[in-house]
Structure 1
Amino acid sequence: MTAHQMRWRYGQVPVPRSAWRPPGAFSRFGATLLVSMSVLFVEAVLAVMALVMVVLTRKGPDGAGSAPDGSVDDGGVGTLGLLVPFFLALVGSVFGIVLLFILSVAVVLPLVVLSTRLGRQAPDHVAWLWAPIVAAAVVGGTVVSGGLLAGMGTGMMSWAWLGGTVALTVPLLAVRQVALRPVPIAAGRAFGHVVLWGLVAVVALAAGGGALAAGGLRG
Structure 2
Amino acid sequence: MLGLIGIVMSSEDPNNTDQKTRLEMLNDSVIKLDSFIEDILNYSRNTRMGVVMEEINFEEILEEIRNGHKFMEGANKLKPLVEIIQKEKFISDKKRIIVILNNIISNAIKYRDTSKEESFVSVFVECDSKKAVITIEDNGIGIADDKQEKVFDMFYRATKLSNGSGLGMYIVKETLEKLDGIITLESSLNKGTKFSIQIPNQTN
TM-score category by the smaller chain? under 0.3
Q: Which structure has greater helix proportion?
A: 1
Q: Work out which of the two has the higher radius of gyration on C-alpha atoms and give 1 or 2.
A: 1
Q: Which structure has greater strand proportion?
A: 2
Kindly indicate whether structure 1 or structure 2 has the higher relative contact order, using CA contacts under 8 Å at least 6 residues apart.
Answer: 1
Q: Could you state the TM-score of these two structures normalised by the residue count of structure 1?
A: 0.23
